[in-house]
Chains A and B, each alone.
Chain A
Amino acid sequence: MKIVMAIIKPFKLEEVRDALTGLGVHGLTVTEVKGYGRQKGHTEIYRGAEYAVSFLPKIKIEVAVSNDLVGKVIDAITGAARTGQIGDGKIFVSSIECAVRIRTGETDQDAL
């Protein structure tokens, strides 16, 4: 089992969800986050006060999948979230030691 965590542009969320649903992924966790990478921030001006805003709003999605699905999930996210511009985001994959479905107590692969 792997957990795929992706940071994407907020307006790409629906496309990514559709692509993952198409693969048979049944669950997805979404968090609103802020951060910076290579994409520069922007300047906000309020009357005389100018602020350089370096943390930009992004969406973090987390999806737990079986090992054989990881490649397809990465491809799906990459395909749906890409605009070709700086700031499209990143994908990180890590292993899951254990998974439990709270309602039934099922574990690991059955719990996904």
Chain B
Amino acid sequence: MFKILRSGAALAGLSAIGAATLLSAGPALAQAAATPVPNKGDTAFMMIATVLVLLMTIPGLALFYGGLVRSKNMLSVLTQVFAIVCITMLIWVTYGYSLAFTNGGGLNDFVGGFSKAFLAGVDANSVAATFSNGVVIPEYVYIVFQMTFACITPALIVGAFAERMKFSALVLFSVLWVTFIYLPMAHMVWYWVGPDGIAAAAKAVAEAGTDVAKKAAAEAALVAVKADAGLLFQWGALDFAGGTVVHINAGIAGLVGCIVLGKRIGYGKELMAPHSLTMTMIGAALLWVGWFGFNAGSNLEANGTAGLAMINTFVATAAAAVAWLFVEWAAKGKPSLLGMVSGAVAGLVAVTPAAGFAGPMGCIALGLVSGAVCFVFCSTVKNSFGYDDSLDVFGIHAVGGILGAIGTGILVNTALGGAGIPDYESKPGELAVGAYAFGTVVWTQTKAVLFTIAWTGIGSFILYKIVDAVIGLRVTAEQEREGLDIAEHGERAYNY
């Protein structure tokens, strides 16, 4: 889903950029300006993908996390996830979508503007671009699909500071985090003018002929159209479904959070075994099912690339689950259910940025590596550094996301079975495969990872400190002992 912007708006932007170019490129623009109509199959596919991503979060993620905490904190986790989802939805339609997916003027590299605040100008006839020239989906569908991504990302962070954060502090933190961390990040990675905007500008260059002035103007217009995108998109960073925006973003925010909040009382001394691995398995399985909406849906249309994302979401996950299972079996003596489902989630995370770019065999390799490496981070690295990342948000989402982002840069190579670098310019109007240079692509991916880590790491730290000053992040020691369910919510999960 590295896309956006209505094709109509793209053309409007182009015309604003250079009226002279527009005139000279009249025929090409007239052709492209014929507004495409959404395909019913694509629309239905995206509607289903959208609710699948909701299913991932509630109940999927909520149960996955809920089963891992002690029974006295079960409801606090479920409440936190559900509340974050609902609050983020309201943020999204009021100003979130606009800040993520519109042109932000002078700040456009980093964040969008308020032109679509309260969904201004959007109606049932509005369309959003996909990754194919001349293919669009209804903008309402695009809005809600992207909304579910905004909803799950802050909910992922909950796992890092589970069992000790004040609910009021969590609500304030989530609102701030979505606003100042998530929305800019989504804009930076996924905002661009769409294939039709690029094609129209590229066509104008091709048709400018030998007229030097015309050609220069057309080329300038093409540069401007390409520059109307988020910073990381301009770099050429590849992130199919949200390795940087969702997983590294949330994973690092979680790591910072668990360090700022400090360890749970009794961490490392008292028994903190998961209260229901049955719930955790149900949650993990729902995450997997929902993840098809996340990854295949990120293609924005029901075609072969969505099929590629789907098969990759199967095989990478299976490989990572198997990898964790066997590595743990060898290292700790027993193959555990929790290990296997943790591996599955690590594989899902790692394949997220790669889903539509890498081939199935590449994704198996990616899954095997992510399952094994995330096991080491959750079982060894965490213990040696001593941070209390309650449910391993860093060890699975950040580490898996980083492996996936870098891995995407390697596996996108057609020589390794990948789909290749998307190129909308060289053959205007169709999607070609661009030249692949290992060093360049991997460096771009690495740069995107480092940028994301810095952005969310520093930004989240500041937000935690603000919330700590205003409300206080942690419940009292007494409340923590009693359990957040009773102390914060006045109810308990299980009344036998």
A residues adjacent to B (C-beta < 8 A): 44-49, 51, 53
Interface residues of B in 349-385 (CB under 8 A from A): 378-380, 382-383
Measured in the bound complex, the distance between the Cα atoms of B270 and A51 in whole Å is: 8
Residue interface mask B327-339, A partner, CB < 8 A = 1: 0000010101011
Contact A48 B378 (CB under 8 A): yes
Determine the main DSSP class of A at the interface with B: strand
Which B-chain residue is minimally distant from A49 (CB atoms)?
A: B272
Measured in the bound complex, the distance between the Cα atoms of B127 and A76 in whole Å is: 80
Contact B338 A46 (CB under 8 A): yes
Which B-chain residue is minimally distant from A48 (CB atoms)?
A: B379
Which B residues lie within 8 Å of A49 (CB)?
Answer: 272-273
Which B residues lie within 8 Å of A45 (CB)?
Answer: 332, 334, 336
Measured in the bound complex, the distance between the Cα atoms of B338 and A5 in whole Å is: 38
Contact A47 B342 (CB under 8 A): yes
Q: Which of A44, A48, A53 contacts B382 (CB 8 A)?
A: A48
Measured in the bound complex, the distance between the Cα atoms of B280 and A46 in whole Å is: 12
Interface residues of B in 239-288 (CB under 8 A from A): 271-274
B163 within 8 A of A: no
Which B residues lie within 8 Å of A44 (CB)?
Answer: 273
Contact A47 B378 (CB under 8 A): yes
Could you list 8 A-B pairs, sorted by A, with CB under 8 Å? A44-B273, A46-B336, A47-B338, A47-B339, A47-B379, A49-B273, A51-B271, A53-B271
Q: Which 7 A-B pairs have the closest CB atoms?
A: A48-B379, A47-B378, A48-B382, A48-B383, A48-B378, A51-B271, A45-B332
Which B-chain residue is minimally distant from A53 (CB atoms)?
A: B271
B392 within 8 A of A: yes
Measured in the bound complex, the distance between the Cα atoms of B383 and A53 in whole Å is: 19
Query: With contacts defined as CB atoms under 8 Å apart, how many contacts are there between chain A and chain B in the complex?
Result: 27
Distance to closest chain B CB from A78 (angstroms)? 33
Measured in the bound complex, the distance between the Cα atoms of B378 and A47 in whole Å is: 6
Distance to closest chain A CB from B75 (angstroms)? 21
Which B-chain residue is minimally distant from A52 (CB atoms)?
A: B271
Measured in the bound complex, the distance between the Cα atoms of B378 and A49 in whole Å is: 9
Measured in the bound complex, the distance between the Cα atoms of B381 and A48 in whole Å is: 9
Which A residues lie within 8 Å of B338 (CB)?
Answer: 46-47
Contact A46 B274 (CB under 8 A): yes
Which A-chain residue is minimally distant from B379 (CB atoms)?
A: A48
Contact A48 B380 (CB under 8 A): yes
Measured in the bound complex, the distance between the Cα atoms of B334 and A48 in whole Å is: 13
The CB with the most chain B CB atoms within 10 A, among A45, A47, A51, A53, is that of A47
Distance to closest chain B CB from A7 (angstroms)? 22
Known pairs A46-B273, A51-B272 / 18 extra A-B pairs, C-beta < 8 Å: A45-B332, A45-B336, A46-B274, A46-B336, A46-B338, A47-B338, A47-B339, A47-B342, A47-B379, A47-B392, A47-B395, A48-B379, A48-B383, A48-B392, A49-B273, A51-B271, A51-B273, A53-B271
Measured in the bound complex, the distance between the Cα atoms of B198 and A66 in whole Å is: 95
Which A residues lie within 8 Å of B332 (CB)?
Answer: 45
Measured in the bound complex, the distance between the Cα atoms of B342 and A53 in whole Å is: 23
Which A residues lie within 8 Å of B272 (CB)?
Answer: 49, 51
Measured in the bound complex, the distance between the Cα atoms of B271 and A46 in whole Å is: 11
Measured in the bound complex, the distance between the Cα atoms of B378 and A51 in whole Å is: 15
Which A-chain residue is minimally distant from B378 (CB atoms)?
A: A47
Measured in the bound complex, the distance between the Cα atoms of B273 and A89 in whole Å is: 26
Distance to closest chain A CB from B346 (angstroms)? 11
Residue interface mask B309-340, A partner, CB < 8 A = 1: 00000000000000000000000101010110
The CB with the most chain A CB atoms within 10 A, among B273, B380, B395, is that of B273
Which A-chain residue is minimally distant from B334 (CB atoms)?
A: A45
Which B-chain residue is minimally distant from A55 (CB atoms)?
A: B271
Distance to closest chain A CB from B441 (angstroms)? 33
Which B residues lie within 8 Å of A46 (CB)?
Answer: 273-274, 336, 338
Measured in the bound complex, the distance between the Cα atoms of B274 and A45 in whole Å is: 10
Measured in the bound complex, the distance between the Cα atoms of B477 and A82 in whole Å is: 46
Measured in the bound complex, the distance between the Cα atoms of B337 and A46 in whole Å is: 9
Which A-chain residue is minimally distant from B324 (CB atoms)?
A: A47
Which B residues lie within 8 Å of A53 (CB)?
Answer: 271
Measured in the bound complex, the distance between the Cα atoms of B380 and A100 in whole Å is: 60
Measured in the bound complex, the distance between the Cα atoms of B382 and A44 in whole Å is: 18
Which A-chain residue is minimally distant from B374 (CB atoms)?
A: A47
Which A residues lie within 8 Å of B383 (CB)?
Answer: 48
Which B-chain residue is minimally distant from A44 (CB atoms)?
A: B273
Which A-chain residue is minimally distant from B377 (CB atoms)?
A: A48
Measured in the bound complex, the distance between the Cα atoms of B272 and A47 in whole Å is: 12
Which A residues lie within 8 Å of B334 (CB)?
Answer: 45
Which A-chain residue is minimally distant from B328 (CB atoms)?
A: A45
Which A-chain residue is minimally distant from B396 (CB atoms)?
A: A47
Measured in the bound complex, the distance between the Cα atoms of B452 and A60 in whole Å is: 57
Which A residues lie within 8 Å of B336 (CB)?
Answer: 45-46
Which A residues lie within 8 Å of B378 (CB)?
Answer: 47-48
Which A-chain residue is minimally distant from B68 (CB atoms)?
A: A46
Which A residues lie within 8 Å of B339 (CB)?
Answer: 47
Distance to closest chain B CB from A41 (angstroms)? 11
